Structure 1
C-alpha cells in the first residue's frame, strides 16, 4: 500500500476545502441552523412529542443525515470530476498508484469533510434542542458508514458524469426527494399504508432510522436491519466502482 500517494491525494482534497471554507462548511451549517429555528422551534413547538421526544429533537438526526449525505455526495463527485474536466486525471492514472489507493485518497477526503460538517451541526443542535445519545458506538458507526457509503456513491457520479449538468443531476433531482421521503422530518408511521410500503424501498429511511435509534431508541425500522441495509448499499457501491476501475469506464477513454 502506497501511503504516501494516498496522503498526497487526501491532502490536496482537504486543502481545497480550506480554500472554500464558506461554501464547504459555513454555508451548510447556517442552512441547517435555519431548519432548527423554523422546524424545531417555530413549528416544533406546535407539534406533539413523537415517541416521547420533542419534535425539535426528533428531527435532529434526520437533519444531520440530510447534510452529511448531501456533503459527501457533493465532495465525492466533484473530487474526481474536476481532474477529469481539467485532464489531470490522466497524470494520476499513469502514476505508479493502485486504483484502490486513488479511491482511498479521494473518498477518504470526501468522507472526512462530511464528518466534520456533521459533527459541527451536531454541536450546533445542542444550542436549539435538548438531545442525548443513548448508544454512542452505534451513532458513530452509522455516522461513519453513511459518510463512506455516500462518498463512494458521489465518486461514482463523478466518474459517470459527462458534464456539469450530469454532475448535478442526481444530487439535485434524486437525492432531495429520497431524503425528504426517508423519514427525516417525521415517522413513516404517519404515512398511509401504501406510502409506508414505498418508503421501505428508500435507502435513506434505513440510515435515518438507525441513526435516530442511536439517539433516542426509537426507530421506524429495526436498527440491525438498518445496519445491514446500509452495509449492503456500501457493498454495491464498492462492487460498481471495482467494475468501473477494471473496465476504465469513462476514466481511460
Structure 2
C-alpha cells in the first residue's frame, strides 16, 4: 500500500477541518446545545422518562447520531467534490494511487472528523445531563462504523453531484428526515402499532437503536440486527465506490 499517498490525502483533508474550526467544530456543538435546551427542557418537562431513562439523557445518543451522520456525509461529499470542481482530482487519478488508497485517505479523514465531533458532543452532553455508558466498547464500535459508513455515502454523493446544490440535495431531502424519523428523540415503541411497523423500514432506526443500547442497555430492535444493518450498509457503499473507480463514472468526464 502507498502509505505516503494515503497520509498526504488524509492530512490535507484534516488540515482543512482545523482551518475552518468554527464551521466544522463549533457550529455542530452549538447546534447540539440548542437541541438540549429545546428538547431537553421544553419536551423533557412533559416527558420525564422513557423506559426508565430521563428524557434529557435518552436523546443524547440520537443527537450524537444526528451530528455524526450529517457531518460524515457533509465532510466526505465536499472533500471529493471540491477536487472534481477545480480539476485536481485528475492528479489523484493519474498518480500511482489505487482506488482503495484514495478512498482510505478521503473517507478516513471524513470519518475521523465526524468521530471527533461525536466525542465532543458526548462530552458536551455531560454539562446538561448525567450520562453513564453501559457498554463503552460497543458504543465506540457503533460510532466508528456509523462514521465510516456515512462517510462512504458522502463520498458517493460527492462524486455524483454535478453542482453545489446537488451536493446538499440528498442530505437535506433524504438523510435528515430519516434521522429525525428514526427515533432520535423518541422510542419507536411510543408510536401506534402501524407506525412502529413503518418505522422498521427506516434504516437509521437500526443505527440509533444499537447506539442507544450501548448507553442504556435498551433497544428498539435486537442489537445483532443493528450490527448486521450497519455492516450491510457499509458493504453496499464499498461496492458502489469500487464500481465508481472501476468504471470511472463521473470521474473521467
Shorter-chain TM range is over 0.9
Say whether residues 1:240 and 2:240 are aligned partners. Answer: yes
Q: C-alpha displacement at 1:165, in angstroms? A: 1.1
- Aligned with 1:174: secondary structure? helix
TM (norm. structure 2) is 0.98
Say whether residues 1:101 and 2:101 are aligned partners. Answer: yes
Give CA deviations for 1:55-77 in whole Å, capped at 9, x if unaligned.
00000000000000000000010
Aligned to 1:152: 152
> What aligned pairs does 1:97-246 form with structure 2 within 5 A after superposition?
97-246=97-246
Which moved further from structure 2: 143-152 or 163-172? 163-172
Q: C-alpha displacement at 1:4, in angstroms? A: 0.3
Aligned to 1:55: 55
Q: C-alpha displacement at 1:190, in angstroms? A: 1.4
Q: C-alpha displacement at 1:192, in angstroms? A: 1.9
Q: C-alpha displacement at 1:48, in angstroms? A: 2.8
Q: C-alpha displacement at 1:194, in angstroms? A: 2.0
Say whether residues 1:78 and 2:78 are aligned partners. Answer: yes
Q: C-alpha distance in 1, partners of 2:78/2:198?
A: 31
Q: C-alpha distance in 1, partners of 2:82/2:105?
A: 15
Aligned to 2:250: 250
> What aligned pairs does 1:12-91 form with structure 2 within 5 A after superposition?
12-91=12-91
Give CA deviations for 1:118-163 in whole Å, capped at 9, x if unaligned.
1000000001001110011110110000000000000000011111
Aligned to 2:92: 92
- Aligned with 1:46: secondary structure? coil
- Aligned with 1:220: secondary structure? coil
Q: C-alpha distance in 1, partners of 2:198/2:93?
A: 41
Q: C-alpha distance in 2, partners of 1:41/1:195?
A: 26
Give CA deviations for 1:185-235 in whole Å, capped at 9, x if unaligned.
001111122221121111110110000000001110111110110110000
- Segments of structure 1 that go 5 or more residues without pairing to the other structure are none
Cα RMSD over matched residues? 0.8
TM (norm. structure 1) is 0.98
Moved over 2 A (4+): none
Q: C-alpha distance in 2, partners of 1:131/1:121?
A: 12
Q: C-alpha distance in 1, partners of 2:98/2:240?
A: 17
Q: C-alpha distance in 1, partners of 2:227/2:211?
A: 10
